[in-house]
Amino acid sequence: MSKLKILILILPFFLGCIGLEKREGVRLGRISTEPCVRILLGDGGDIQSDGNIYIHKGSKVYKLSSGTIQVKDGKIYRDGQKVFDITSSIRVTFGNKSFGYNGLLYWGEVILTNSLIINKIPIESYLYSVVACEFECGEIEAIKAGACAARTYTLRHLKLDNDYDLVATEADQVYRGVNSETKNSRSVCDKTRGLVCVYRGKLIDARYSSTCGGRTADSKDVFGKGEPYLRSRSCNYCKISPHYSWAYKYSKQNFRELVQDRIKCLKGKDPGQVRGVKIKKRDKSGRVKEVIVEAKNGRFTINGEDIRKLFDLKSRYFDIKSRGDRIYIEGKGWGHGVGMCSWGAIGMAKKGKGFKEILRYYYQETSVKKLY
């Protein structure tokens, strides 16, 4: 096959993966090869292997026996002795196909960029862990919906011009390697292999969170960019969640001290004694959008997800009430609330809904497509 024909076949996929899928006319086509994803695990540290360690530097491969290498300040050490400078990205592979880092075991290989530890792995192997960490439950259809969402999110966020694609925390998707995998997560990923969510033929930004608390949030209110398939909608399925509703109680003095300390962290300035806290604005879903704090040293405005940090809350879906000498914060849900409600998916599965119906409910007007 000519190079031109190969390029034509893979171009729609790569355009979608690097965030250009919104360009008019670009559509995803079937691909024959499962893509890989690069996950940032950390900055420096020890990498262990029970098998041989292979350092790929340029066209040369250097073999080290089993054990530990240390990565620090752009260098690789062995037993305290420097063995390599990381002048550009260095690929590290392992004889037994796995390696240890920060107490966890991972499949795949490592790419070292300066001191960054980046795990490169086929997407489905990555999802074995993500699906177990994010969606493990007793409802297979809910896990299937989660697998499709996580796969779509991963493919949508591949970044060909960056050193890595995703981080291993809830900032993207929780990824904890081999030991977190379960029988269910492996089985469900295999059964849904290559299935993704699309809107008008393009990969969606498949956001999800634990519990919406009765109504999902609009993507524009949370991330500043609206998507037609991520509009706010009611959800009567997540009432079974332990995070559906919650409440915190403070003395007025403790509440003022909490807010004062958090303002220091968020604004880098001591507000002095807090005199009042007022919810100023709410978004379309009823979540708090803006809070005003009146204090001795000024008036402070807190917006968006910083509001959760201000009060250390599970979500922005809350109200503040004063009763006597007490302050009560009563709220619903856990997470940003955009897209699929994970506990809502469980509730839908319990009512006999299939994973495609669950996905269509939370990602409105979308469909499921097999990409590979």
pLDDT-derived band at 27 (thresholds 50, 70, 90) equals low
pLDDT-derived band at 202 (thresholds 50, 70, 90) equals very high
Q: Which pLDDT score is estimated for 286? A: 97
Instruction: Please say if the pLDDT value at position 10 is more than 70.
Output: no
CA distance 155 to 203: 8
DSSP tag of 226: -
Instruction: Please say if the pLDDT value at position 18 is more than 90.
Output: no
Instruction: Please say if the pLDDT value at position 24 is more than 80.
Output: no
CA distance 149 to 208: 8
Q: Which pLDDT score is estimated for 301? A: 97
Q: Beta-carbon neighbour count of residue 178 at 10 Å?
A: 15
Q: Which pLDDT score is estimated for 32? A: 80
Amino acid at 74: G
pLDDT-derived band at 73 (thresholds 50, 70, 90) equals very high
Mean pLDDT of 177-181: 97
Model pLDDT for residues 131-142, shown as the tens digit of each residue? 999 999 999 999
DSSP tag of 230: G
Q: How far is CA 113 from CA 39, 49, 60, 89, 98, in A?
A: 12, 19, 17, 5, 19
Q: Which pLDDT score is estimated for 6? A: 40
Asked if residues 35 and 123 have their Cβ atoms less than 8 Å apart, the reply is: yes
Q: Could you tell me the sign of the dihedral formed by the alpha carbons of 121, 127, 130, 136, in that order?
A: negative
Give the CB-side neighbour count of residue 69, counting CA atoms within 13 A: 27
Q: Which pLDDT score is estimated for 292? A: 97
Instruction: Please say if the pLDDT value at position 149 is more than 90.
Output: yes
Angle formed at CA 118 by CA 113 and CA 120, multiple of 5 degrees? 120
Instruction: Please say if the pLDDT value at position 189 is more than 90.
Output: yes
Q: Where are the alpha helices (DSSP H) in the chain?
A: 3-17, 123-135, 140-156, 183-191, 219-223, 252-267, 306-311, 342-350, 355-362
CA distance 8 to 10: 6
Q: Where are the domains of the chain?
A: 35-235+335-372, 245-332
